[in-house]
Amino acid sequence: MTTARPGGHAALVQDLHERGLLDGTWRRVWGAVPREPFIPARAWRQDDDGCTLLGSPAERHALVHADEPVVIQLDDGAEDGPGIATSSNSRPSMVARMLGLLRVEDGSRVLEIGTASGYVAALLSERLGGERVFSIELDPALAAHAETALHTAGYRPNLRCGDGERGWPEAAPFDRLLATCALRHVPRAYVDQVRPGGLIVAPLAREFWSGALVRLAVRGDGTATGRFHGGASYMPMRSHRVAGGEPVDSRTARGRRTGLGPAAVLHLGFALWGGTRLPGVRLWHSEGPAGVQVWAQHPDGSAATAVAGDVWEYGPRALWAEIERTHRDYAGLGSPAAEAFGLTVRPEGGDLWLHEPGNVLAAVPEAAGRPRSAGEVVR
């Protein structure tokens, strides 16, 4: 079921404005750039259990004018795949948030990583002029679609089909850089290609603290630092994906009760803190008839799942007990919100910090990280 209001594109823009996500300038820009022309003929709705092909014009119209993502590619474009979403036209409110954080100014030169449908490049081109917008897309089919859609709409930003992790060095320096795919780390090339005083806005995704939106200010010493600004769920950059790992041995299951409700660990502030205390632990969740269910897993074979006050732990460690202790420590700090945490990117890596850059909690390595689990913990 979609959340579109009557009135189509104009109503969507009005809704974003009323929610404080569009100032007057961006409201004019959004009003001039409808979303629908950038959605391919084949598109899908993202459901809890997979992706559903939009089967009728009415269904398509409702989703395109709703504050919801529209999936535009499955399985990297391969036929007869498992049906995993690999590219989308993002939720409009998330796009508006990120563009607001980008703080573009008249004359800004912007590099976008991940052209996808071309819609964000169109918004930036309407705001700044196409000659100041640079956008990179890895997938040739998506790049071709975006170019056609942009040119048909009258926009001619600078487009490239290539590896977005490398940026666009010969066009640098840029005033702003926007990543519209999730990153495991901020590539060094991004800091190098944004001028001192410029901004980088990107969604980051690591094991415990996936889906965190960060804005970094580039400094003259070759570093970039800034705070987190809430959650952001984006599909990962292809080179930042992680492979499947080993399933958990369910024969080692130990059950007990817990006083820590699963929903309590899903706050982004705790996720950022927990990732510093439980390195390598991956956390994910789902919602079902019994409520929120959380899974946690470590490469050493330890795992845990919790739902409705019941916990099952697996492998050599009591992983949920470690999460309980970590949550108590977090509460002892006053349960800081995500915006209290920040990131500094340096040539040799990065640091996650709390309250101020000098209060470093943990290093954030640039390596792609460990493989994810291919199996689920089974009750």
Asked about 90 being catalytic, the answer comes back as yes
Contact partners, residue 323, CB within 8 Å, separation at least 6 = 260, 265, 274, 278, 281, 296, 304
Catalytic residue among 90, 108, 117, 135, which?
90
> Contact 209/232 with Cβ under 8 angstroms?
no
Interatomic CA distance for residues 377 and 247, integer angstroms: 8
Q: Give me the DSSP letters along 73-97.
A: EEGGG-TT----EEEEE--HHHHHH
Interatomic CA distance for residues 137 and 297, integer angstroms: 33
Q: Which long-range contacts (CB under 8 A, 24 or more apart) does 345-353 make?
A: 345/186, 345/188, 345/191, 345/216, 345/223, 345/224, 345/225, 346/222, 346/223, 347/188, 347/222, 347/223, 350/185, 350/186, 352/272, 352/275, 352/276
Write the CA distances from 82 to 120, 245, 247, 291, integer angstroms.
Answer: 28, 18, 19, 27
> Contact 66/4 with Cβ under 8 angstroms?
yes
Positions annotated as catalytic residues are 90
